[in-house]
Structure 1
Amino acid sequence: MQFSPVWVAVALSVSAFPVSYTLNSLSTLEHSWSVALVGAVVLVGLFALVYLPSQSQDPLFYVFMVFSFTSVIDTIIALEEDGYISGFMEFYMKEGEPYLRTAHGIMICYWDGVVHYGLYLMMIIAMSQRKSYRNFGLYWIGSLTMSLVVFLLGNIVGKYGSEIRLAFLLNFPYLLIPIWAAKRIFSQPKPLPLLMADKVSEEQSKSILQRPLDLGLVGFFLLAAGFTLFRGLVVLDCSADTCFNYVYQQEPYLRDSVAYPKVQMLVFLFYLLPYFCLCLYGLLCPGCTWMLDWALVFAGAVAQAQFSHLGSSLHHRTPYPYRTPEGSWWPVVVSNVTYALGPHLLVYRCFRSPAFFYPVALRDEDKKKQ
């Protein structure tokens, strides 16, 4: 009897509960080196367990199977740190990665346990049905990369820098694997609809004023670019009164010594701000085929970042002086949610009517025929 791969993935991931409970009861796991060793053994054992009986031709299948298990582990960590369960991952919090007890650590665990887990299952289903999982994969790459970059850098430069232990090295495969996965996923053919050259020519000949949705997106990216630059200046200790008032009255979380919010704003400043500028170019100039892929990547990155940032600024684990003030709650929430929704609206626009982003060669070919 052969079981569906998705049910195998669910069964494997649910086994995280008895595995973590058993490991937590072992008295030998009282040293950082033993926790790191057991973590590495569990990951290698899971990979062998998935790889040996499987016949999949795509190596990412095994990666998603193992990562689905670690996603449930992250869910357990988040639930335990928020007090909903107990007795599962206390050993790892003490001698493994104590910085996961921060509000930011809990938020990224929730995101990994819900959003990433759902993406793994959807990509496994697509693989088993021999369908393209390219779009899911691009969104996952952006989300996972953003999560790891901010988390790892924040651990090193923040107040937990002195508490980094051997288990910290278990994060590096998660940073390297997305690079390899991105190369494989980007090389897959794009599942785009076939459009006639005259349709492409018609769409690409329209000005921005004839495209209301694009005009709205241009306005959003202009505002988002300004907001990104402003928050970048805030975490860089700009002495302007506006920056001073904002960091104390609107988002005091940006001053938190854990350093995650500061790193997050700097990543936005040096990577997201240039992307917003490129989006403005792509919405004004036809034929930017890269928009279709990178819109998904950055939508995943911004969604993960804003969930972690906003959730941490409101979470009870964040010290009270750094939490969002009650009087500023709605402006901060609305601005941060809008900041995350804009890139997703761009994804919708790109895939609803992609003709504007098709190669200009199609339009030129149509002119020659005329």
Structure 2
Amino acid sequence: MSASLGTGVFVLSLTSIPILYAVYAFLSVVNLIIALEQDNVIDGFVTFYLKEADPHINTAHGHVVSYWDGSAHYLMYLLMIAAITWGDSYRVIGLYWVGSFLMQTIVYILGNAVGKYGTQVGFFFIPQMLYIFVSVWACFRVFSQPSARDTQSTDILNTVRKNLLHRPLDLVFIICLLLAFMFCVFRGLIALDWSCKWCHDYTQQYEPYLKDPSAYPKIQMLVSMLYSGPYYIIALYGLLVPGCEWMPDLSLVHSGALAQAQFSYIGASLHTRTPFSYRVPVSSQLVFLLVNLLYTLVPQALCYRCCTQPEFFLRPTAEKKED
């Protein structure tokens, strides 16, 4: 993103949210062009930017993030623009975007600060930070959108009265969340260089990318442990105790964050821009993909359950009035 485009985003954001997302959609297309040119699919469109931009954009992580921004974020922006145009709420897709954006931004800033490219940050870092500040403002606007859930009180009462044994799907989610929590903490400990034979063997055989000197994978795992770890505990509470109205919104934010994180991590682990010694061995790729895809799908499935069947997480209107 150039300085002029960053300034344009700032000016437009002060006037109209739909125009802001339209500009973001355009910038997503720019990121897609960057990724395609890096893969030599096209040539000559952003050559100057690739030479002068922050080194982050030329790493495997930056490359895969460009694809995510040019596809997933682009679709989210179009959906939000359509919802605003038709007068509908864009809170659901907006919260998913908030999680994705925050995860991408945190890893970008911290990775640049502590990685091997920390001393090579150039002028284009300034418009990137401007873009981030405006996006944070947009995140608050998303949270200010009213929640639109229309559920009958009788449905809420009937669902709340069911114990866990009569909610087999939630029981499965609880087991999956416990496994996801352990896997999340395990990879976080690897990122912290925990001296354990299991950690060393797992890293060597399945995820050597965690040792990449760019620091993006390490930061990714640490942020995931500090962000996803507490979420899994809170989500367990939300599945056990009825009336946790924050559960659907929180699941949307987290599922968006983990989708972005896992897409970036899986893609960069297999990408040719990653040095060969840090790439996933060919013999381990099937296990690596299976484990990471299952880990990615758990929050997405839980989010779908929370948003499509929210009765257990809601309270009857009478209880709200008493409060």
Specify the TM-score bucket, using the shorter chain as the normaliser. over 0.9
Larger radius of gyration: 1
Deviation at 1:182, TM superposition (A): 2.4
TM-score, scaled to structure 2: 0.94
Equivalent of 1:194, from 116, 129, 151? 151
Is 1:231 matched up with 2:187?
Answer: yes
User: In structure 1, how many angstroms separate the alpha carbons of the residues matched to 2:158 and 2:108?
Assistant: 45
Residue 128 of structure 1: aligned partner: 85
Is 1:208 matched up with 2:171?
Answer: no
User: In structure 1, how many angstroms separate the alpha carbons of the residues matched to 2:207 and 2:298?
Assistant: 20
1:253–1:323: 8 Å Cα contact kept in structure 2? yes
Corresponding letter in the other structure for 1:178: S
Corresponding letter in the other structure for 1:320: F
Aligned residues: 322
1:201–1:362: 8 Å Cα contact kept in structure 2? no
1:200–1:363: 8 Å Cα contact kept in structure 2? no
Deviation at 1:45, TM superposition (A): 4.4
Please identify runs of 4+ aligned residues in structure 1 that moved more than 6 A.
363-366
SS in 2 for 1:84: coil
SS in 2 for 1:166: coil
Is 1:171 matched up with 2:128?
Answer: yes
Corresponding letter in the other structure for 1:163: Q
Question: In the superposition, relative to structure 1, how do residues 83 and 364 fare at CA in structure 2: closer, same or farther (>3 Å)?
Answer: closer
Higher relative contact order (CA 8 A, sep 6+): 2
1:154–1:259: 8 Å Cα contact kept in structure 2? yes
Deviations 1:99-155 (A, max 9, x none): 211110010000000011111111111111111111111111111111111122112
Residue 278 of structure 1: aligned partner: 234
Residue 247 of structure 2: aligned partner: 291
Equivalent of 2:212, from 256, 260, 273? 256
2:104–2:261: 8 Å Cα contact kept in structure 1? yes
Corresponding letter in the other structure for 1:129: W
Is 1:222 matched up with 2:182?
Answer: no
CA RMSD of superposed structures (Å): 2.0
1:306–1:340: 8 Å Cα contact kept in structure 2? yes
Is 1:72 matched up with 2:35?
Answer: no
Residue 85 of structure 1: aligned partner: 42
User: In structure 1, how many angstroms separate the alpha carbons of the residues matched to 2:91 and 2:77?
Assistant: 12
User: In structure 2, how many angstroms separate the alpha carbons of the residues matched to 1:309 and 1:103?
Assistant: 9
User: In structure 2, how many angstroms separate the alpha carbons of the residues matched to 1:290 and 1:117?
Assistant: 27
Identity %: 45
Corresponding letter in the other structure for 1:239: S
Equivalent of 2:4, from 41, 47, 53? 41
1:201–1:363: 8 Å Cα contact kept in structure 2? no
Q: What are the residue-to-residue correspondences of 1:1-370 with 2, within 5 Å?
A: 39-45=2-8, 59-196=16-153, 198-359=154-315, 362=318
Corresponding letter in the other structure for 2:61: H
Structure 1 unmatched ranges of 5 or more: 1-35, 52-56
SS in 2 for 1:215: helix
User: In structure 2, how many angstroms separate the alpha carbons of the residues matched to 1:317 and 1:170?
Assistant: 25
